[in-house]
Amino acid sequence: MSKTLQAIRGMNDILPGQTPVWRYLEGTFAKLLDSYGYSEIRLPILEFTELFARGIGEGTDVVDKEMYTFLDRNEESLTLRPEGTAGCVRAVLEHGLSGGGQVQKLWYAGPMFRYEKPQKGRYRQFHQIGVEVFNQPGPDIDAELIVLTARLWKLLGMADAVSLQLNSLGSSEARAAYRNALVDYLQARFDLLDEDSQRRLTTNPLRILDSKNAQTQALLADAPTLLDYLDEESRRHFDGLRARLDAAGIAYQINPKLVRGLDYYGRTVFEWVTDKLGAQGTVCAGGRYDGLVSQFGGKPTPGVGFAMGVERLVLLLETLGLVPDSLAATPHVYVCAFGEAAELAALTLVEGLRDRLPQLRVWLNAGAGSFKSQFKKADKSGARYALILGDDELTSRVVGCKPLREDGEQQSVCWDDLASWLAERIESA
C-alpha cells in the first residue's frame, strides 16, 4: 500500500477556515502602508546563494545552519530566501531604483524558508511582511517605521500586548572596538560559556548577547555594553530617534543586548515583542543597514527596514480573541432553483444581479436537490435571504425572497425590481 502523502514537516497548509484572518491582517497592513506612501514590490523566492552569504553574513546561524540551498541543473547554487531584505536590495540595485539619490519606500509579502526545529509560532516555511526604505539617512524615517507599526497594533487592537525594544549598533568602527572588548571579557570566562557561545566567540561574538542560556546571560551582566562604544554621529542619530518617539508618545525600552541575527545591521535596531506567545516573543523587528547596498556593489546608499511574522501575528490575534466575527465571507443571498428551466433562469438572474450590484455576495445552489435540502444549504451558508425560483415563479416572473436571519414573511419580488429590493436591504444592514 502506498504511503499517504503529507506536507513537509514545518511547512503547513493554510486552510479555508484560517485564510480570512490572514487576509484581514494583510489587508489592514496594505491599506496602512498605502496611506504612508509605500509601494509594493514582488520578489523571487529563489536567489543565488551568494546573495545571502554576502548580505546576511558568514558565521550567522541563518547562513551556516538554516538555509535551504541546492545545486540546480546548471550546477549553480540557489537558495530559498530565508529573509527579504537582501533580495529587495538586489532588486533595487539591478533595476537602478536607488540611483541619483532616489528615495524608495517599498514593501513586500510572502513566504520565507529556514531549516529550524518546528514549534508553535516557528515554521520552516513562514510568511513575512517586510518594509524597506532607501536614501533616507536620518532618524526621522527610522521613527516613521516604528510609528506606523505602532499604528498597526492600534488598528488590530493589540497595542497593549506588545512593547518596543530599542538599541543602536553604532558605526562599523564602533562595533569593531566593542567586539574586541567583548571578546576580551568573554575569553577570560570561556569555560563558563555554553557550547554555542564558545563557537560564536570566534565567528560572531555579538550574537552571544542574545543567548538563551541562563548561565551565559548571568556572565553578560557585567560585560561591556555597546552603548558605551557608540561614535558621536551614531549617538546623535539615536538621540534624534528617541526624541521623535517621545514626541509621538511611543513607549520603548533600551535593550543594550539587542543586536539582531543578521550582520548587515548598523545604528538603529528595534524589536516589537510580546509575552503572550511563550518563547516566540518577537512579532516585528528591523533596523538600519546603511552599508548593505555598497556591500552588494552599489554606491553607498542609506537603508532601513523591518519584517513582521504573519503566523505569529495571526496567532497573537487568536490568542487575544481579537479576530473580528465578521471575517467569514458569508453570502447576502442564497439562490434555490427547482427544475432545469428554473436553474437556467436562475443563472441568468444571478449574473444580472452581479452586474448591477458588484458588492453583492450571492451563492447559487449547485447539484439540484429537494426543496428541503436546498433550504438547509441556504440556512447553513449564513445568508440573510434565500431566493426561491421554481415553475410558478418562472410563470409569474417573480422571485420568492425569504428572510433567514430575522422574522418576516416570504415576499414575491418582480425580476425587474429585485436588484433595487436587495440593494435597499443589504445597504441598511
All structural domains of the chain:
19-170+230-319 (3.30.930.10), 330-421 (3.40.50.800)
From CA 286, how far away is CA 306, in angstroms rounded?
4
Q: In whole angstroms, what is the distance from residue 331 CA to residue 385 CA? A: 9
Q: What is the pLDDT of residue 85?
A: 94
Does an H or E element contain 30, and which?
helix 19-36
Helix (H, G, I), strand (E, B) or coil at 348: helix
Give the 3-state secondary structure of residue 283.
strand
Neighbours of 235 (CB within 10 A): 15
**Per-residue pLDDT, 429:** 55
Beta bridge partners of 307: 130, 285
d(CA 251, CA 246): 7
Q: Cite the DSSP H helix spans in 134-291.
A: 139-156, 172-187, 195-203, 214-220, 232-247
What was the pLDDT predicted at 325?
82
C-alpha 418 chain-centroid distance? 41
Which H helix or E strand runs over 32?
A: helix 19-36
Helix or strand (DSSP H, E) at 168:
strand 163-168
Could you tell me the end-to-end alpha-carbon distance of the chain, in angstroms, rounded to an integer? 54
β-partners of residue 284 are 272, 308
As a whole number of angstroms, the distance between CA 229 and CA 269 comes to: 16
Q: In what order do the strands lie in the sheet with 362-364?
A: 362-364, 333-337, 385-389, 398-403, 411-414
- Residue 28 to residue 41: CA distance in whole angstroms: 17
Q: pLDDT in tens for each of the 429 residues of the chain?
A: 578 899 999 999 999 999 999 999 999 999 999 999 999 999 999 999 999 988 777 667 788 789 999 999 999 999 999 999 999 999 999 999 988 899 999 999 999 999 988 887 789 999 999 999 999 999 999 999 999 999 999 999 999 999 999 999 998 888 888 888 888 888 988 888 888 888 888 877 887 887 888 888 888 888 888 888 899 999 999 999 999 999 999 999 999 888 775 567 889 999 999 999 987 799 999 999 998 899 888 999 999 999 999 999 999 999 999 999 888 778 999 999 999 999 999 999 999 999 999 999 999 999 989 999 999 999 999 999 999 999 999 999 999 999 999 888 899 999 999 999 999 988 765
pTM of the model: 0.87
Quote the DSSP letter at residue 2. Answer: P
- Contacts of 118 by beta carbon, 8 Å cutoff, 6+ apart: 9, 10, 124
Residue 219 has what pLDDT?
Answer: 86
The distance from CA 69 to its chain's CA centroid, rounded to whole angstroms, is 24
Dihedral sign (CA 300, 301, 302, 308): negative
* Grid coordinates belonging to 125: 516555511
What size, in residues, is the chain? Answer: 429
| Segment holding 91, helix H or strand E | helix 85-94
10 burial via Cβ count (<10 Å: 0-12, 13-18, 19+): middle
Per-residue pLDDT at 386: 95
Helices (H), 222-370: 232-247, 292-295, 310-319, 340-356
Backbone angles phi, psi at 232, to 5 degrees: -65, -40
Residue (of 304, 331, 310) closest to 156 by Cα position: 310
Nearest to 117 by CA among 10, 17, 256: 10
Element (H, E) at 394: helix 391-396
